[in-house]
């Protein structure tokens, strides 16, 4: 504050030193200052005094105080200033809000540049000159005093105020790329401020001006220091918040509560009653919930379409695509409704509450979709804003849909296996690092041993991935591309799956996205401390899956190729990045050191040094197509062609090279591996994150230029198609779909595993009653059946009575370690398999005193056949399968410290198809230091 201009005291006129000349100084521009007030008697003198002191030597100016109905003496103080200075009081008596007050004042201004500044002293008056200079120069139409650009700060605000401010700015992001659109401190051309009148409600006049300016509106942000008010009380409350939300709704070409919403609500209530009656009647006739709710929805939707077209949205334009858009919205509403029904059912709520929750949840989607899409208004938003809104809406839809369905869909066998990890918490496991186990342990500790508890970690990881990818893309190509990257993250198959299923890929993807963001900040934005963020993300990624280590060579390649970045190699920061990653990863290193480096060899040397040569590059390409889907493939191909100029070293600069290197280096490793070895579906998924900014920017360029209409159409169609497919898939997995059966449920998708375990438990109970002893349950595959038995048996202690085919010398991954200390001698064993040949081997009989036949059992889900399994009961287990039953009844068990690979030759009397199994078992026994008893070998009778 400048102290040589004093506020006017009450009750007397104080002479203020007059300037040496007129208020216009030389060629400087003229400016009108609008100062909105409402009960600011404690601040107004100080603020007007600062304005006068700062402007009188620079501009010809006027100050218009737009008062909204003060009753504390504010107006009297302003009037005293007007007797000596160009200060005018305009009383509005509270007839409108702040925005209306400012607009009324702007109509009375006489200069072409207008500055709006708060009267509470929070805005730095000295910054007025810079704002005015930016606009008066002719380069910009509006200059905003911004808290959120580099150099801007907020002083004195508590955390919750900062969070709310950031959140409010985020809500406005579909309509502007300005980082601080809610700032009340800005300079603007008078004509543009007056043009905002038709778009103004509430108190955010600056946002209204930004919206009214349109695509060609030139805006800049000037960093300021924003201070909390020292005196008086903030006027922002719930009414202002509601007005702001209403302002945003109007901008999105939605409707106000008193208009279309009321008509929609009337039609919707009629549809609700009809819907509820049909569903209830269908259930009374014996229909299951899936059939009943779909019939009710279809009938109600048909009636609603007529009501909306002729009444709710009768003032909207009609076109040929309206019915198709309504059908798309209806499917999205149906699947959201199914999610609410599934979630409410899992919570055990009464059926009327379940139905009401489903109808209301689907109705919300129906209203938003019909209002903004199916029956869209005549006055359309600019195409960029429409796509931003679509990206936000669809990403939010997918996120909510996943949360609703995650607790209603049976666990995949892999998820059940990782849940079993979480029951044996450790610093490492044979086939993966421990992060997935820690996430599941955390989720199930909070939400119990439920599907939702297992999967909530995947949703959190997806949100972290979305945050980092938005920031990463925004830094590289701007906010519009960031929104499009968010849309891709929601609809591309791999990333939809990682947000739905808890596997090591979920935390790996989040860590990969975070590492890319921090590496870009460190290398290209020249922020040294970001190297530490990159190191933390890579370390967390290494705790998730070892493939994130590929970012190391990618970083080195970029630092070597990019001349401006080579200097980092001579600093300590990249090495601190490596050290921080290693420290986070050190528990896994320690675990491997105490287990003969088993996990490193299993995932490393065992894969790379395998004797089997398999050319799988075509398979790798097919897997990439499956991971990216049609939209991802199209944009990836376009990105490859668009960035092909990087082959010219003269163009190897900056962000293009960064994105290319961090995409191509990991893909090159996977491609080279595929020349000699088999590959897996999910391997390349995270590697595409580095290409997301380019893919998004291509879409943005196509939208803005209008020259690549086929690209825009293809992205639009594939995006809608992907969301429809995923939403219907989730509905099918949880509730089913009409005329679609469960032909391959158990061996394919996660359907009826809980019903399978219930049937298996019935068999177990029957056998236990017959034998008088608790049987051992064995899944006759590597881990799938045993893991599902463990999870759905509903009791962690029951894991002691569940194992895998490792009991018979076959590979069982971690089940070999978990069951290494148990002694199943003499026990009754129930073997479960999804194929009859897994139980029909004649060699199984040699492991038991007596063994029953292979029996078949059909599994039903909602009274429909959903799959089948086979089981067989063995009595009197014995630890060998090489001799006759009678001989093994007399065998003596002797403990031995010799590794299994030395106790048995993998090729001795082993048929050729079993050679790989014995080799894997020998590897497991040796690397995990598992010592098993040996048996006296007898000739086969």
pLDDT in tens, 598-642: 888 887 766 676 667 889 999 999 999 999 998 889 888 888 776
- What pLDDT, on a 0 to 100 scale, did the predictor assign at position 711? 83
What are 656-660's contacts with CB under 8 Å, separation 24+?
A: 657/558, 657/561, 657/562, 658/519, 658/520, 658/523, 658/524, 658/558, 658/562, 658/690, 659/476, 659/690, 659/691, 659/693, 659/694
Radius of gyration of the chain (CA): 34
- What pLDDT, on a 0 to 100 scale, did the predictor assign at position 909? 36
Kind and range of the H or E element at 590? Answer: helix 573-594
Who's near 691: CB < 8 A, 6+ residues apart?
636, 639, 659, 663
Which of these ranges, 565-569, 687-691, 932-936, has the smallest mean pLDDT? Answer: 932-936
Cβ neighbours of 446 (radius 10 Å): 10
Against a cut of 0.95, is the pTM above it?
A: no
Question: pLDDT higher for 748 or 700?
Answer: 700
Q: How far is CA 681 from CA 361, 611, 653, in A?
A: 35, 22, 33
Who's near 315: CB < 8 A, 6+ residues apart?
260
Segment 501-508 shows an average pLDDT of 96
- What pLDDT, on a 0 to 100 scale, did the predictor assign at position 24? 38
Contact 719, 487 (CB under 8 A): yes
Q: How far is CA 505 from CA 44, 122, 686, 777, in A?
A: 58, 47, 8, 30
Closest among 120, 115, 151 to 131, alpha carbons compared: 115
- What pLDDT, on a 0 to 100 scale, did the predictor assign at position 640? 76
Cα–Cα distance for residue pair 356/352, rounded to 1 Å: 6
Closest among 365, 361, 366, 367 to 338, alpha carbons compared: 361
- What pLDDT, on a 0 to 100 scale, did the predictor assign at position 894? 30
Contact 373, 380 (CB under 8 A): no
Contact 779, 872 (CB under 8 A): no
Residue 115, helix vs strand vs coil: strand
Cβ neighbours of 237 (radius 10 Å): 8
Work out whether the CA dihedral 243, 249, 251, 255 comes out positive or negative: negative
Residue 516 CA to its chain's centroid (Å): 16
Round the average pLDDT of the chain to a whole number and report it.
Answer: 82
Phi and psi for 155 in degrees, rounded to 5?
Answer: -110, 130
Kindly report, residue by residue over 85-99, the tens digit of the pLDDT.
888 888 876 556 677
Kind and range of the H or E element at 816? Answer: helix 815-818
Question: pLDDT higher for 148 or 250?
Answer: 148
Residue 896 has pLDDT above 70, yes or no: no
Residue 837 has pLDDT above 90, yes or no: no
Residue 442 has pLDDT above 90, yes or no: yes
Contact 475, 520 (CB under 8 A): yes
Who's near 408: CB < 8 A, 6+ residues apart?
339, 342, 343, 345, 346, 451, 734, 735
Cα–Cα distance for residue pair 797/791, rounded to 1 Å: 11
The token pair at 99 is 């925005």
Segment 255-273 shows an average pLDDT of 74
Work out whether the CA dihedral 828, 832, 833, 836 comes out positive or negative: positive
Residue 379 has pLDDT above 70, yes or no: no
């Amino acid at each position: 504050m400048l102290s040589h201009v004093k506020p006017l005291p009450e009750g007397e006129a104080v002479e203020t030193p007059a300037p040496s000349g007129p208020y216009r100084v030389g060629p400087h521009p003229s400016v009108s200052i609008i100062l909105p007030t409402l009960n600011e008697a404690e601040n107004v003198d100080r603020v007007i005094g600062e304005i006068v002191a700062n402007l009188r030597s620079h501009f010809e100016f006027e100050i218009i105080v737009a008062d909204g109905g003060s009753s504390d003496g504010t107006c009297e103080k302003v009037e005293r200033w007007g007797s000596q200075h160009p200060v005018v009081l305009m009383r509005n008596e509270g007839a409108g809000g702040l925005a209306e007050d400012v607009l009324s004042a702007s109509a009375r201004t006489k200069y072409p540049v207008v500055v709006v500044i708060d009267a509470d002293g929070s805005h730095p008056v000295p910054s007025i000159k810079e704002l005015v200079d930016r606009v008066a120069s002719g380069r910009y139409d509006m200059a905003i005093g911004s808290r959120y650009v580099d150099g801007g700060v907020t002083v004195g605000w508590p955390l919750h105020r900062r969070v709310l401010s950031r959140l409010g700015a985020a809500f406005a992001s579909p309509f502007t790329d300005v980082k601080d659109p809610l700032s009340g401190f800005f300079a603007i051309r008078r004509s543009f401020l007056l043009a905002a009148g038709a778009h103004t409600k509430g108190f955010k006049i600056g946002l209204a001006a930004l919206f009214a300016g349109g695509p060609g509106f030139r805006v800049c942000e000037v960093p300021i220091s924003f201070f909390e008010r020292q005196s008086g009380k903030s006027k922002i409350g719930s009414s202002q918040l509601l007005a702001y939300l209403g302002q945003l709704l109007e901008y999105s070409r939605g409707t106000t509560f008193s208009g279309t919403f009321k008509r929609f609500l009337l039609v919707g209530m009629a549809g609700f009653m009809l819907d509820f009656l049909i569903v209830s009647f269908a259930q009374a006739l014996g229909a299951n919930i899936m059939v009943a709710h779909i019939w009710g929805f279809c009938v109600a939707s048909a009636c609603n379409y007529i009501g909306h077209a002729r009444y709710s949205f009768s003032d909207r334009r009609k076109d040929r695509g309206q019915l198709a858009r309504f059908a798309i919205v209806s499917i999205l509403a149906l699947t959201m409704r199914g999610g609410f029904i599934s979630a409410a059912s899992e919570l055990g709520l009464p059926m009327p509450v379940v139905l009401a929750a489903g109808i209301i949840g689907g109705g919300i989607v129906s209203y938003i979709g019909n209002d903004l899409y199916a029956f869209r208004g005549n006055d359309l938003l600019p195409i960029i804003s429409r796509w931003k809104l679509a990206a936000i809406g669809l990403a939010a839809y997918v996120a909510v849909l996943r949360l609703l369905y995650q607790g209603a869909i049976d666990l995949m066998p892999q998820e059940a296996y990782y849940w079993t990890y979480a029951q044996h918490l450790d610093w490492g496991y044979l086939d993966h690092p421990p992060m997935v186990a820690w996430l599941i342990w955390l989720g199930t500790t909070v939400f119990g041993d439920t599907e939702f508890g297992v999967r909530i970690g995947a949703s959190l990881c997806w949100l972290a991935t979305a945050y980092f990818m938005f920031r990463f893309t925004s830094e590289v190509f701007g906010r519009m591309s960031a929104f499009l990257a968010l849309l891709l993250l929601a609809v591309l198959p791999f990333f939809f799956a990682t947000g739905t299923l808890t596997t090591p890929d979920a935390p790996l993807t989040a860590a990969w996205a975070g590492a890319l963001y921090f590496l870009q900040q460190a290398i290209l934005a020249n922020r040294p401390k970001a190297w530490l963020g990159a190191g933390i993300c890579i370390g967390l990624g290494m705790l998730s899956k070892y493939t994130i280590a590929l970012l190391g060579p990618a970083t080195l390649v970029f630092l070597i190729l990019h001349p401006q970045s080579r200097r980092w190699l001579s600093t300590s920061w990249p090495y601190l990045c490596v050290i921080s990653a290693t420290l986070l990863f050190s528990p896994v290193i320690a675990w491997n050191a105490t287990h003969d480096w088993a996990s490193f060899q299993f995932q490393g040397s065992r894969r790379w040094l395998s004797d089997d040569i398999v050319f799988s590059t075509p398979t790798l390409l097919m897997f990439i197509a499956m991971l990216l889907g049609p939209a991802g493939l199209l944009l990836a191909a376009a990105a490859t062609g668009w960035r092909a100029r990087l082959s010219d070293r003269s163009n190897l600069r900056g962000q293009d090279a960064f994105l290319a290197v961090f995409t191509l280096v990991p893909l090159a490793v996977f491609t080279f591996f595929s020349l000699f070895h088999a590959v897996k579906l999910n391997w390349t998924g995270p590697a595409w994150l580095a290409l997301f900014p380019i893919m998004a920017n291509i879409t943005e360029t196509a939208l803005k230029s209008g020259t690549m209409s086929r690209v825009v159409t293809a992205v639009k169609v594939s995006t809608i198609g992907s969301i429809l497919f995923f939403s219907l898939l989730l509905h099918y997995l949880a509730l089913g779909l009409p005329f679609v059966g469960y032909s391959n449920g158990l061996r394919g998708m996660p359907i009826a595993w809980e019903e399978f375990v219930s049937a298996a438990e019935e068999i177990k109970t029957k056998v236990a009653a017959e034998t008088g002893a608790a049987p051992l349950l064995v899944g006759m595959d590597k881990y799938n059946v045993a893991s599902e038995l463990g999870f759905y048996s509903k009791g962690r202690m029951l894991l002691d009575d569940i194992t895998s085919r490792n009991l018979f010398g076959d590979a069982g991954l971690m089940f070999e370690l978990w069951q290494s200390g148990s002694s199943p001698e003499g026990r009754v064993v129930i073997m479960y398999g999804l194929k009859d040949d897994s139980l029909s081997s004649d060699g199984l009989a040699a492991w038991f005193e007596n063994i029953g036949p292979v029996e078949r059992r059909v599994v039903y889900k909602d009274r429909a056949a959903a799959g089948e399994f086979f089981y067989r009961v063995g009595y009197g287990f014995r630890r060998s399968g090489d001799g006759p039953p009678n001989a093994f009844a007399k065998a003596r068990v002797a403990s031995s410290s010799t590794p299994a690979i030395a106790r048995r030759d993998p090729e001795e009397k082993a048929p050729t198809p079993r050679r790989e199994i014995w080799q894997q078992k020998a590897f497991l026994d040796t690397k995990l230091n598992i010592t098993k008893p040996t048996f006296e070998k007898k000739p086969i009778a």
